[in-house]
Structure 1
Amino acid sequence: MTAPDGIDANVPNAARMYDYYLGGKDNFAVDRTAAEAVLKVLPEMREAAVQGRALIKRVVRHMVAERGIRQIIDIGSGLPTGENVHDIAHAIDPSVRVVYVDYDGVVCIHGRALLAARHTAMAQADLRDPAALLAHPEVKGLIDFGQPVGLLMMFLLHLVGEDDRPGEAVAAYREAVAAGSVLAISHAAVDARPDLMARISAVYERASSPFTPRGREEIRAFFGDWKLEDPGLVNVWPYPVPPADIDPALAGMGYGGVAVKP
């Protein structure tokens, strides 16, 4: 893959590394090298990426089919894959509006090229700047903030370091949306395997985003006073029901939950 103008192909990127874990081709040599370094520490990372995509599908189906959400903002969407958020949502209701958001230029270039579906858009914006993201023309063009919104922050917040105040950013998004909105978060956990997570964090020090796993209570705080749906904040992979083929080695690697704004 050739780097587009303005894209630094010499710095590993978390979204492109994730694409590599999934067997994609939208990555550079530097991404593959960094991803292989992670795989040496955690060979289960490929399976984690696959299960992560399956988790997103289950969450989107829940939002649309069970919660009645008809507009979704997928923040930190990453590179398009074979079955995207709008594909899942539109299989239930073709009128659902979906805005994909990512700060990476490669992601946005590919997104605009491949996500040419009705009621979808791709916005280049950064989670850490809620005011700019929420005011982005692509976001404002599709999202009615007077109606409930589904906010996806899947496998994203552990790529935001404490210096960037992720808690304040997430609070701004919670404040911006209407009652009945739904927030879904999945996040790498430091509790069960701290030594392993420290080694992965060391690899990501060379990437464009840090890797900052957090404890259960730190992750719970991102939901603020929103009501967590059953079964609460739990081991991320089985949420909301355990898949049949989960690798036991993934247990304890992350937490996930879905909450509703009162």
Structure 2
Amino acid sequence: MTDQIDSSTPQPARRYNYWLGGKDNFAVDRASGDEILKTFPTARIAALENRRFLQRATHFLTAEAGIRQFLDIGTGLPTADNTHEVAQRVAPESRVVYVDNDPMVMAHARALLTSTPEGRTTYIEADLREPAKILANEDLLETLDLREPVAVMLVAVLHFIEGYGAGKPIVRTLIDAMPSGSYLAVTNSTKDPLPPETAALYDAALASGITNIWPRDRAEFTDLFDGLELVEPGVTPVSEWRAVTDPAERPDPAHVAMYGAVGRKP
């Protein structure tokens, strides 16, 4: 798969890896990341806080909600404490399917495809925009039992689906395929906490193509959980969602500008 890797075009997973301090990125990704940092100098803070949300949400789902199956879409490049590592520390029998459409992530799949003997970890190359294909994938169906509850993780990926309301049909397709007792965890960029001048810069960056991260306001983000029971504390900045185990001094929500929430399918 490595011959498909495009090192001339910036990719979200590699740019995110750069912001997190990783080494699995190219000059074009670093240049893109730096360009975004010129307009949004706290983007690295947002990336770090989003990662912490993923870890806290996974721990909650495993330790408190009893989930043993995870469908993590938009995996990104491996860093410390991936979903399967957090889950399998709590419950070694946990099973995780990772999904990403970046060939470089596939090239690093061996780092993800480690698992406890009791559990299982699988990676599939697929696109969030085609949720039905993800659900029909043979490797997914061999790893996860869709008759039992699954946690669907859409962390820092749904905001690459542009357009108001465009994310909901994708979420609905995924959740409709899951049984009662399943969960949905989502994070998405938002302009809500931004001062007007920064929000205007965001709009300009979207229009110029500097960023393709679609911000969702609280109403649109909350609507993704239509029909689900929101887990306390509901929709919050990612940096504040059950953050009791994180450093006491939480960043300004305007420096993170991302919503996070977890919901349960009744």
Fold shared by both chains (TM-score > 0.5): yes
Separation in structure 2 between the aligned mates of residue 214 and residue 175 of structure 1, nearest angstrom: 22
Alignment correspondent of 1:174: 175
Query: What displacement does 1:116 show?
Result: 2.6
Separation in structure 2 between the aligned mates of residue 223 and residue 141 of structure 1, nearest angstrom: 27
Separation in structure 2 between the aligned mates of residue 66 and residue 217 of structure 1, nearest angstrom: 28
Separation in structure 2 between the aligned mates of residue 5 and residue 34 of structure 1, nearest angstrom: 22
Backbone CA RMSD of aligned residues: 2.0
Gaps of 5+ in 2: none
For residue 251 of structure 2, what is the amino acid of its counterpart?
Answer: D
Query: Mapping of 1:124-203 within 5 angstroms?
Result: 124-162=125-163, 165-193=166-194, 194-202=199-207
- 1:87-116 deviations in Å (ceiling 9; x for gaps): 101110100001111011111221234433
- 1:60-95 deviations in Å (ceiling 9; x for gaps): 000001100000011101111022111101110100
Calculate the TM-score normalised by the size of structure 2.
Answer: 0.90
Alignment correspondent of 1:19: 17
CA contact (8 A) 1:76 1:156 kept: yes
CA contact (8 A) 2:189 2:258 kept: yes
- 1:3-62 deviations in Å (ceiling 9; x for gaps): 931222111111110000011111111111000011111221112212211111100000
CA contact (8 A) 1:112 1:121 kept: no
Answering whether residue 256 of structure 2 is matched by residue 255 of structure 1, we say: no
Secondary structure of the equivalent of 2:240? coil
Query: What displacement does 1:250 show?
Result: 4.1
- 1:171-217 deviations in Å (ceiling 9; x for gaps): 000100000001011111122222243244357x267xx21101111
**Aligned residue pairs, count:** 257
Query: What displacement does 1:252 show?
Result: 6.4
Gaps of 5+ in 1: none
CA contact (8 A) 1:76 1:102 kept: yes
CA contact (8 A) 2:165 2:220 kept: no
CA contact (8 A) 2:46 2:258 kept: no
Calculate the TM-score normalised by the size of structure 1.
Answer: 0.92
Separation in structure 1 between the aligned mates of residue 253 and residue 38 of structure 2, nearest angstrom: 15
Separation in structure 2 between the aligned mates of residue 245 and residue 88 of structure 1, nearest angstrom: 23
Secondary structure of the equivalent of 1:5? helix
Alignment correspondent of 1:238: 240
For residue 24 of structure 2, what is the amino acid of its counterpart?
Answer: D
| 249 and 72 in structure 1: CA distance in 2 versus 1, 3 angstrom threshold | closer
Query: What displacement does 1:246 show?
Result: 2.3
- Equivalent of 1:78 in 58, 76, 79: 76
CA contact (8 A) 1:182 1:259 kept: yes
CA contact (8 A) 2:237 2:253 kept: no
Moved more, 192-201 or 167-176: 192-201
Separation in structure 2 between the aligned mates of residue 50 and residue 37 of structure 1, nearest angstrom: 18
For residue 247 of structure 1, what is the amino acid of its counterpart?
Answer: P
Secondary structure of the equivalent of 2:134? helix
| 51 and 183 in structure 1: CA distance in 2 versus 1, 3 angstrom threshold | same
